[in-house]
Structure 1
């Protein structure tokens, strides 16, 4: 199918006159288009949407085809570390994320007059930031610390690697007292570390992990606040436990994510691979890969459901992913990552959102995505006010 045929179908889609059969033809055409053609088509479709508006109910297959194509481009971009801020602005890729019957799409110009006010500023996205608190209370700001050895505790060397990650090397001195470190991630930060046993941990914004500088006992125990992704090093006979308040996860060797923010309604434990036992009081749930344990913070009830692994771990890959998310849930994530105060004055009239957004975009670009779906905004310093506008 040539580009002109695809553009003709895109026009019909934008006016709502496309048939089901034509939508599937269009989906296949977008799927098979090479990258330069796909980029060109998405740029042209932006103009079509602005001219005609958007259809009421998108075709699911069309959405999947477009998301698959965007995923391919994202994979092409990440290995060479092209900044997403420059990439998104240059390519003007249409996200085509459907929310409440409307498309979400990224544009270079704002659709809201408020965004052009004197208060607009680009709040930069977060980055690798963390503070390490040693056993004696000494604090080390890791994002500005030099590469190499940072400290020594009970024969264990605390190292900042060339990659910027934190690692522990050496063997604990025999008979030494068990010492604990705490890694704290501020608002607007994230960080990766390798624990003394070889376990890899990715920590999200506003999170902390307390752990011993050496795992010398019968089990390995760490304490988490916030969100982290774990890849557990296998040590038969020495189980790994993650404590989150009065809940804990027992691990034998697995990859999983725990989201346990104080301002969220649930604690979600998502199993990617391996085996994981989640315990809440007397209730115990054994998870299989692809399952998620959900602890209701209001009732303390523990339940299990099918997991959306891509959504649960998107933050680790550098994305926000929303699936029928209300604006308050989006606001909480944006506030943590961009380290801003966000005041929601929409009174719950914005409906649900569905989309995938790079965390490397400046805040104004993310807000313009919301603006395209009827949420206007005003930026004053590091305070952002959201209010209902016209779609």
Structure 2
């Protein structure tokens, strides 16, 4: 008779075969017998009355016997013929082994579904005032002051009657899973996307350029015309470039984990510049500034794709899976890993509401390609 150590090794090997879809009917019978042997070989079974209690203790005993770590494991949410689980993630499966065996067709069983609710993004941000104090902005925290009116979705700065005083700066920081709108004191409107930070003065000084800074992230701007402000130009600074405008609508994306700064002009004209080059954009044009080249790449684009986030939509035109996962990770505040590097460049095209659940979007992607995903709390693996 095999010793307990060898039996435990056999048991684990059979579990792995089942989860990989390689188990035979005879091996499935053996696996069920092993499962039942744990119940028969322990004295505590006879002392318990509830079947559920027996099963729970039995499963704990099994897990202890194969010495698996007590950590949270990834469990697939959606169907596929075969999933690769870890042994410790198979607790619920072990309970139903007898049922699986009786169904005969081992490979076609439904996986155990464990749903993790991931909420869509909301209107939220943190406002850092000039004195260093911070204010949480969301639907339950409405900020009001002498110069600022808030309503839970946006903050609006009053137009200054006297714009000659010393500059005082505020920071508006939008976390992952958020977005926010701010109307500056000159009337310029800024929509901030997830994981973005904007630095701006409470009031602008008359006779000087109206300068603000996108510290990082993505923003869409509708700039108040210079003719309304004594000809004072409007300048948006980023880490690697300046954007000078006279009155326009444009989008700029400058995330810290991306190697390009992308400026898309919707209306009007802008001058994009860095320490080496400068270019004037026309409506419908886009400038890409890469860290490596330090030069602007100008192209004509469909601007709606690049500003759709402001209107509550994701719009992708032949975007790679890797690029799409970056966008989703920011809006839904999750971490996403693509295990198979060959899948990163698969292209997708489509428009989806940002109000849809992450699971809904992942299911669409899954159904159009030979891929699967797993969710563990806020961590997603695609393979």
Alignment TM-score, normalising by the size of structure 2: 0.67
Instruction: Report the CA distance between 1:378 and its aligned residue.
Output: 0.6
Partner of 1:375, secondary structure, is: coil
Residues 142 and 148 of structure 1: CA distance in aligned 2, closer, same or farther (over 3 Å): closer
Cα distance in 1 for partners of 2:251, 2:322 equals 22
Instruction: Report the CA distance between 1:176 and its aligned residue.
Output: 3.7
Aligned length: 273
Instruction: Report the CA distance between 1:146 and its aligned residue.
Output: 4.2
Structure 1 residue 185 and structure 2 residue 179: aligned? no
Moved more, 343-352 or 192-201: 343-352
Instruction: Report the CA distance between 1:265 and its aligned residue.
Output: 2.9
The equivalent residue for 2:138 is 143
Contact residue 317 and residue 350 of structure 2 kept, 8 A? yes
Q: 5+ unaligned residues in a row in structure 2: which ranges?
A: 1-76, 84-109
The equivalent residue for 2:219 is 228
Structure 1 residue 159 and structure 2 residue 159: aligned? no
Moved more, 297-306 or 249-258: 297-306
Instruction: Report the CA distance between 1:303 and its aligned residue.
Output: 1.7
Instruction: Report the CA distance between 1:111 and its aligned residue.
Output: 5.3
Residues 120 and 112 of structure 1: CA distance in aligned 2, closer, same or farther (over 3 Å): farther
Contact residue 218 and residue 251 of structure 2 kept, 8 A? yes
The equivalent residue for 2:37 is none
Q: Deviations over 1:229-261 (max 9, x none)?
A: 000011321000000113010000000000111
Cα distance in 2 for partners of 1:326, 1:207 equals 22
Residues 252 and 376 of structure 1: CA distance in aligned 2, closer, same or farther (over 3 Å): same
| Aligned pair partner of 1:346 in 340, 345, 355 | 340
Contact residue 163 and residue 204 of structure 2 kept, 8 A? no
Q: Deviations over 1:146-189 (max 9, x none)?
A: 4462x34xxxx12103x731111153667643100000000000
Q: Deviations over 1:9-35 (max 9, x none)?
A: xxxxxxxxxxxxxxxxxxxxxxxxxxx
Residues 239 and 342 of structure 1: CA distance in aligned 2, closer, same or farther (over 3 Å): same
Q: Deviations over 1:305-328 (max 9, x none)?
A: 002201111111111112121111
Q: 5+ unaligned residues in a row in structure 1: which ranges?
A: 1-108
Contact residue 308 and residue 314 of structure 2 kept, 8 A? yes
Structure 1 residue 209 and structure 2 residue 205: aligned? no
Contact residue 324 and residue 354 of structure 1 kept, 8 A? yes
Contact residue 172 and residue 214 of structure 1 kept, 8 A? no
The equivalent residue for 1:198 is 187
| Aligned pair partner of 1:315 in 309, 323, 328 | 309
The equivalent residue for 2:327 is 333
Residues 112 and 310 of structure 1: CA distance in aligned 2, closer, same or farther (over 3 Å): farther
Greater relative CO (CA pairs within 8 A, separation 6+): 1
Cα distance in 2 for partners of 1:117, 1:365 equals 18
The equivalent residue for 1:67 is none
Partner of 1:292, secondary structure, is: strand
The equivalent residue for 2:294 is 300
Structure 1 residue 378 and structure 2 residue 374: aligned? yes
Contact residue 159 and residue 187 of structure 2 kept, 8 A? no
Cα distance in 1 for partners of 2:266, 2:112 equals 45
Instruction: Report the CA distance between 1:348 and its aligned residue.
Output: 2.0
Alignment TM-score, normalising by the size of structure 1: 0.66
Structure 1 residue 124 and structure 2 residue 114: aligned? no
Moved more, 174-183 or 331-340: 174-183
Contact residue 185 and residue 206 of structure 1 kept, 8 A? yes
Instruction: Report the CA distance between 1:118 and its aligned residue.
Output: 3.8
Contact residue 130 and residue 191 of structure 1 kept, 8 A? yes
Instruction: Report the CA distance between 1:370 and its aligned residue.
Output: 1.5
The equivalent residue for 1:17 is none
The equivalent residue for 1:239 is 233
Moved runs in structure 1, 4+ residues, more than 4 A?
113-116, 172-175
Instruction: Report the CA distance between 1:117 and its aligned residue.
Output: 3.8
Q: Deviations over 1:85-122 (max 9, x none)?
A: xxxxxxxxxxxxxxxxxxxxxxxx95546696444323
Instruction: Report the CA distance between 1:375 and its aligned residue.
Output: 2.1
Q: Deviations over 1:283-303 (max 9, x none)?
A: 111001010011112222212
Structure 1 residue 276 and structure 2 residue 270: aligned? yes
The equivalent residue for 2:363 is 368
The equivalent residue for 1:355 is 350
**Structure ID, larger Rg:** 2
